[in-house]
């Protein structure tokens, strides 16, 4: 299986001639989003926020490619079905389920977005463990309990987290490799500070932290 990192929290996984994309958000420009979605078979959405689902271009792609299988929390799925009408392959997904898809087995976790502030409504959020290998938590620090996640996509910077929580998340999951997601708000200085700490702490617990540039491909 191969992983391609796109801007912020968008990643593409390719396996056995099939392609799966998680969280094509609005931090990607139109050309990058088109590359991420090109030939995609499965689209997973963790939650409704636009930095994880750029609704208009994604809907345009799905209208042109109704065969794409979309799995998303119920409120997100309902919005997509309303926009796309009959014929769209959009499915509700809940935590603690298993999706058997061609080329991919997806286990789901979580259910709730991490708290930003008590006065800000918390939305549904589902994390995805793909082929018992890659874990994308969306906007949460929910640990895939009872299962190993050799490759962790760690949300390293957000309005809802701080560095100590990111470190604790990495330690709790105990992956072999860590790649960054949710990095779209970071400056070069921010990357340098956060990634220095994550590299050191990951190594203490037997993991390798590796920065992926936008568009970079890695074989897992």
Give the pLDDT of residue 116: 92
Give the pLDDT of residue 27: 97
Percent of the residues in the chain that have a pLDDT greater than 90, as a whole number: 95
Give the pLDDT of residue 168: 97
Give the pLDDT of residue 119: 94
Give the pLDDT of residue 16: 95
In order of their start, the domains of the chain are 2-219 (3.60.15.10)
* Residue from 4, 52, 60, 56 nearest 27 by CA: 52
Give the pLDDT of residue 87: 81
Q: What parts of the chain have a pLDDT lower than 50?
A: none
Give the pLDDT of residue 165: 97
Query: pTM for the full model?
Result: 0.97
């Amino acid at each position: 299986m191969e992983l391609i990192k796109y801007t912020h929290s968008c990643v593409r996984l390719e396996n056995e001639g099939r392609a799966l994309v998680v969280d094509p958000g609005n931090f990607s420009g139109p050309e990058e989003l088109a590359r991420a979605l090109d030939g995609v078979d499965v689209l997973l959405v963790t939650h409704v926020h636009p930095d994880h689902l750029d609704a208009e271009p994604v809907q345009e792609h799905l209208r042109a490619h109704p065969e794409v299988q979309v799995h998303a929390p119920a409120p997100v799925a309902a919005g997509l079905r309303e926009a796309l009408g009959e014929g769209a392959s959009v499915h509700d997904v809940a935590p603690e389920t298993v999706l058997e898809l061609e080329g991919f087995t997806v286990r789901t976790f979580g259910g709730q977005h991490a708290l930003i502030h008590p006065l800000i409504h918390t939305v549904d959020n589902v994390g995805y463990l793909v082929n018992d290998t890659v874990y994308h938590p969306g906007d949460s620090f929910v640990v895939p309990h009872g299962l190993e996640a050799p490759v962790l996509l760690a949300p390293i910077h957000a309005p809802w987290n701080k560095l100590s929580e990111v470190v604790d998340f990495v330690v709790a999951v105990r992956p072999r490799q860590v790649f960054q997601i949710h990095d779209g708000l970071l400056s070069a200085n921010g990357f340098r500070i956060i990634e220095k700490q994550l590299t050191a702490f990951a190594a203490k617990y037997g993991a390798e932290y590796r920065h992926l540039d936008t568009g970079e491909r890695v074989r897992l």
